[in-house]
Amino acid sequence: MRCFVPRPGAALRLICLPHGGGGASMYAPWPERLPPEIELHAVQYPGREDRLGDPFPENLGALVDTLADAAMPLAHGRYALFGHSMGATVAYELVHALVARGAPEPVRLVVSGREAPHDERGGQVHRLDDDGLHKELMRLGGTTPEVLESRGLRAMILKYVREDYRLIETYRARDLPPLGCPVSVFLGDADPDLTVAEASGWRRVTQGPAEVRVFRGGHFYLVPQRHAVIAALRRALA
C-alpha cells in the first residue's frame, strides 16, 4: 500500500488498484483533488516501480490473499475501493477476501474499464512474443511509445505486463454470494474492449444499487478525464 498524502483524521480510506502493467504511481496525482476527509492508498503490485525485485504471484488468488493481509488495517473503518481494468477484478475479489477475514463491506465498490468477473473472457495475450505484446499495449493506448524504445526498459516493462496478463487471463470467477454495497461502473465511450451493455453485467455482483457512468475516451479514458473521474468518484463517495 502506498499513501502519497497521509490524512490520519480521514473519515474514509480509498483503496485504489491499478490496471495490468500499471503501478501505484498512476494514482499519485489524485489526492490533491480529493477532499481532506478521504485518504487514498494505492496498491503496488510486485515486479515494478519500488517493488521491482519482488516475485510475481502464482495466480490472481494468491495476489488477492497478499493484498487482503495488507489492506485489513484500512478496512476496520469506512473504506471504499476503486479498480481500473485488471484492478477492477482484483478489487472485487479483494472485497470478498476482506469480508471473509471479518471486515465490513466497503461503502462503495467502483470498478472501471472491465467486464464483470462472471463475464471474463480470458485470453492468450500473455503467450504472445514481445512484439505481439507491444502491439496489444499500443492498441489499448495506455503506454507512451517512447517508453518502449529503450531495449532494457522495454524488456523490464514487458516482463511485468506479461505476468499481469497471465494473472487476469487465467482467472476464473468463483461462485460468490452477491455483495450488499453500492457498485459504480465507469468506462470510456470508445473503449475497444468494453461496451455499456457489457459493463452493466456488474449489476449482478450486488444486491445494492448499481450505476454505470460513461466518460469520453478509450480504455484509458481516466488519464485525460482525470478531473471528471475524480469528481464523479467524490459524488459517489459523498
Residues taking part in catalysis:
85, 219
Give the CA distances from residue 93 to residues 35, 75, 126, 157, 223, in Å, rounded to whole numbers and listed in that order.
Answer: 27, 14, 21, 25, 24
Residues in the chain: 238
Burial of 145 (0-12, 13-18, 19+ CB in 10 A): exposed
* Cα angle value 193/219/129 (rounded, 5°): 70
Q: Are 83 and 27 in contact (CB under 8 A)?
A: no
CB neighbour burial string for 88-123, b if at least 16 within 10 angstroms, e if fewer: bbbbbbbbbbbbeeebebbebbbbbbbbbbeebeee
CB atoms within 10 A of CB 230: 18
Give the CA distances from residue 40 to residues 11, 12, 16, 47, 186, in Å, rounded to whole numbers and listed in that order.
Answer: 11, 9, 7, 22, 18
